[in-house]
Amino acid sequence: MGANVIYDGRFSPNPPGAMTSTANCDTAAALAVTALRAGRAIIEVYEAGFSVEIKPDRSPVTEADRRAEGLILADLAGLAPAVPVISEEAGVPAAAVPAPERFFLVDPLDGTREFISRNGEFTVNIALIEAGRPVVGVVLAPAVNRLFVGCGRGLAFELPAGDEQEAADRAAWRPIATNPAKPGGLRAVASRSHRNAETDAFLARVAAKSIVSAGSSLKFCLIACGEADVYPRLGRTMEWDTAAGHAVLEAAGGAVLTLKGQPLGYGKAESGYANPPFVAWGRRESAIS
């Protein structure tokens, strides 16, 4: 029996055409609905007030993280029960266990520090990984009502973020694309909470004409829709932090490269699903060594 893929919003064996761009966008539509549901749960906590706990890795977690993750995991179990899910709060497999060929990566609340500081720059991230690549990604920024999906090269969209029915209506999807590099310097976006000296040195080297600080995977999406050109992340991140935004950016014409110029890959079980430093580019030809 062949591999299972998502088709018409569900996993089924050997659908016609196998994994096509249409099937990927069907998947993106289903995941966008899930992200909106999780986003509502997050906003309920955001508006009602919450306490903050500190996890063993010294990162913060709130009730919103847990509520959103529970909702997403339940939806994915119904959508694709045979496909493994790796999610921030649920933990990851032991490093000795190889990554699956196909799996979901979930960050139910990316940018918890932004959530705690109430600046609105937090996101829901859901991605589907195939053979080490993010082939479908959904990023929702619920506090600012922005919803992005990527489902293959040339298939990046900003969706209405109001309700599930509107978001699932393909006719309402607005195509987005990165901008070619313009003379006079790149527009950079950098981490609000994790900017370091290496990042500042990189930004000086590319002579960025403007630098905007932002939180979460929203940075990838700002590049994907042409509002910025480059995002260096020269500190530690985890795969669930980046996969969904990576899928959106790549679909919009961008690239996410390691400092060796290689595409950032996924399923790095040996590293505990940690990423190396990378740079996200609006256009690959803009990349410098």
Is residue 42 within 8 Å of residue 50, measured between CB atoms?
no
Rounded average pLDDT over 56-85: 91
**Whole-number Cα distances in Å, 22 to 86, 109, 113, 193:** 25, 28, 36, 37
- Please tell me the predicted confidence (pLDDT) of residue 52: 83
Find the length of the chain.
Answer: 289
Q: Does residue 253 register a pLDDT over 90?
A: yes
- Please tell me the predicted confidence (pLDDT) of residue 79: 93
Please state at what angle helix 21-48 crosses helix 63-79, rounded to 10 degrees. Answer: 150
Secondary structure of residue 222 in the 3-state scheme:
helix
Has domain 4-175 been given CATH number 3.30.540.10? yes
Residue with the larger pLDDT of the pair 203 and 21: 203
Using pLDDT thresholds of 50, 70 and 90, give the confidence band for residue 61: confident
Q: Hey, where are the domains in the chain? A: 4-175, 187-286
251-277 burial, b at 16+ Cβ within 10 Å, e below that, comes to bbbbbbbeeeeeebbbbbbeeebebbb
The whole-angstrom separation of Cα 119 and Cα 70 is 24
pTM for this entry: 0.88
Q: Token pair for residue 234? A: 């020269």
Residue with token string 């996890």: 55
Using pLDDT thresholds of 50, 70 and 90, give the confidence band for residue 247: very high
Q: Which helix (H) or strand (E) holds 77?
A: helix 63-79
Q: Which helix (H) or strand (E) holds 220?
A: helix 218-224
Q: Which CATH class is domain 187-286?
A: alpha beta
Residue 104 carries which side chain, given as an amino acid letter? F
Same fold, 4-175 and 187-286: no
Query: 267-270, long-range: CB within 8 Å, 24+ apart, which pairs?
Result: 267/98, 267/99, 267/100, 267/103, 267/129, 267/132, 267/239, 268/99, 268/239, 269/92, 269/93, 269/95, 269/96, 269/97, 269/98, 269/99, 270/95
Q: What is the phi-psi region of residue 162: left when phi exceeds 0, alpha when psi lies from -120 to 50, beta otherwise?
A: alpha
Rounded average pLDDT over 127-154: 96
Q: Which helix (H) or strand (E) holds 128?
A: strand 123-130
Q: Token pair for residue 180? A: 């070619």
- Please tell me the predicted confidence (pLDDT) of residue 96: 61
Residue with token string 């996924």: 266
